[in-house]
Every structure is written in C-alpha cells, then in structure tokens.
Amino acid sequence: MSGPATRRILEREYRLYGKPEFERLSTVSVAHLYNLRQQPRYRERRLCYTRTRPTAVTIGERRCPDPQGRPGYLRVDTVHQGDAPAGQGVYHINAVDQVTQWEIVAATERISEAWLEPVLNAVLRQFPFRILGFHSDNGSEFINRVVARLLNKLLIEQTKSRPRHSNDNGLAETKNGAVIRKHMGYGYISASHAGRLQQFYTAHFNPYLNYHRPCAQADITFDQKGRRRCQYRRYQTPLETLLALPNPAQYLRSGLTPAVLQRIAETRSDTEAAQRMQQAKRRLFAPLRRAKAGPWK
C-alpha cells in the first residue's frame, strides 16, 4: 500500500485497537516508511518476483526461409517516421525479395490489422513473380490472424525470426537504412501524408529501385573449414538478377514475360529515371517544408 495508508493502519492498531506493540510505529513518518522500503533487507523479505511466462503464438513458423535460388521469398519490415505532439508519423512497409533483391515500399497511416491488410495486398501485387514465402520479425503488425488469413488465401508460407538469430531479417533491415532512411530521412512526417507517399512509391520510387538501381549481389562460398563466406563483386539491378536466373519465365506471374519487363526498363535510362524520381520527391516534400509548424508536419 501507499505510505500514508500504511501509517494510518499503524496508528489505528495502537489508538483504536489498543495494541501496545504499535505505540512507536503509530508515530512513524511517511518518508521514513519509504526509506525503509528502499533497503535491500526489506526487498528481500517483502517483494516477490515472478518470471515472465512466454505466450505461445501458433501463427508463423520460427525458422529462416530457404528459397534455394527461387525468387518469391520476401523479407518484410516496418519503418516508423517518428512521432510528434501533433500526432503519429507515417509507417513505411518494406518488402525485399531474398534472391533478386526486388524491393517494394509502401506507406500507411497505421500498422493495425485493418490498415495493414489493403497495403499488403497492394505490395504483393507489385512483385512480377509469384510470392512463395513471407518472413518478418515477431511484431504484432504481421503476426496476427488477418495477415495469416491473407497469406493462407494466397498459398504463401509465413515464417518469423528466431531468438538470438539477428540475421534472419537482416536483408530488410539493411534496406531500411540504405534505401528508406536515405531518401525519406529521419524527420517526422505526419501520417496524414501516407496517401501521397503511397502514390510516389508506386509511380516513381519502386520502378526506380527495381529497374535502374544496382544492388550488390552476394557470391557465397565455403572454405576448407566449412565457414560461409560472402563476397560482393557483382552489382546488378533486381531486374538483371531476375533475368539471369535459369528460365526466369517460370517464376513470373500470368501475363508477364521477360520481354515485357525489359521494355519497361528500356523506356528511360538509369540517370533519367533517377532524375524523374528526384523531381517527384521534391514535389512531394515541397508542401511539407512550407508548413508553418515545421518542415515535416
């Protein structure tokens, strides 16, 4: 109980019930009670600690996905664009294919189940190949019944990161810093701008990332002791990596062919695509910088 309530009980024991052993305690100060409670002896005798019991969640399997050279196994993570007294910031959804590094970024006002379901639907539709796996950390934004029902409907395998295996979702977390933070920054962006951000991602940012931005591709080897070595000598766009796979047409969605994807990439050069994306980003941020309450409101 609180200190004043405890002192009142001690006083009542002596004055109301006439117990002589409470005579000195009936005049103890509240401050001295709190001093006594801070002593190790008091904590040893009076405080009882119970270990937190883990709650078993049956959604998703704890393991690292093994794509075996096939595209369609996604690593997914969220990036929060800060909070402010005016309200919460926007959330970015970052989905990266493990084999080709094909990346789709989306924006949403909230990461609750009702807000996230249509955004995930839009993200999955933007990949040119069939999605076979969906891997995330153990956050409740992805480990819930709504997302599980959506993935089961699309026959997509859902996995989640294992304890003490920080690299399970390392690819998505690396892209969070190298792509999203590099272009969107760390400042606060109001959640009300999620719709405009989503339009920018779909029309300009995602095509630039996948058709015109080279990524470092890992060459994995094993030494004589069986240790895994990653060397980054190849820099290719995600489209080039996809087309370099044996018979890439077998992985594409119905109605898409490698020739169609190549025509999309050849509509403009890499520099022209980057300039077009940067111009669209400046138009996106212009009203944010002119806001009276701050550059990111």
What domains can be seen in the chain, in order of their start residue? Answer: 3-46 (no CATH), 69-289 (3.30.420.10)
pLDDT at 293 (0 to 100): 46
Bridge partners of 44, per DSSP, are none
Q: Report phi then psi at 104, rounded to 5.
A: -125, 125
Bridge partners of 158, per DSSP, are 134
pLDDT at 283 (0 to 100): 92
pLDDT at 73 (0 to 100): 95
Which amino acid, 61? E
Helix, strand, coil % in the chain, rounded to nearest 5: 45, 20, 35
Please state, in angstroms and rounded to a whole number, the distance separating the CA atoms of residues 3 and 10. 11
pLDDT at 54 (0 to 100): 67
pLDDT at 72 (0 to 100): 94
pTM of the full structure: 0.78
pLDDT < 50 stretches in the chain = 292-297
Which amino acid, 135? H
Please state, in angstroms and rounded to a whole number, the distance separating the CA atoms of residues 12 and 18. 8
Contacts with 203 (C-beta within 8 Å, 6 or more apart), sequence order: 280
pLDDT at 279 (0 to 100): 95
Please state, in angstroms and rounded to a whole number, the distance separating the CA atoms of residues 150 and 155. 9
pLDDT at 221 (0 to 100): 86
DSSP 276: H
Please state, in angstroms and rounded to a whole number, the distance separating the CA atoms of residues 189 and 90. 6
**Among candidates 199, 214, 200, 208, which has minimal Cα distance to 275?**
208
pLDDT at 42 (0 to 100): 83
* Burial bucket for residue 272 (CB in 10 Å: 0-12, 13-18, 19+): exposed
pLDDT at 296 (0 to 100): 44
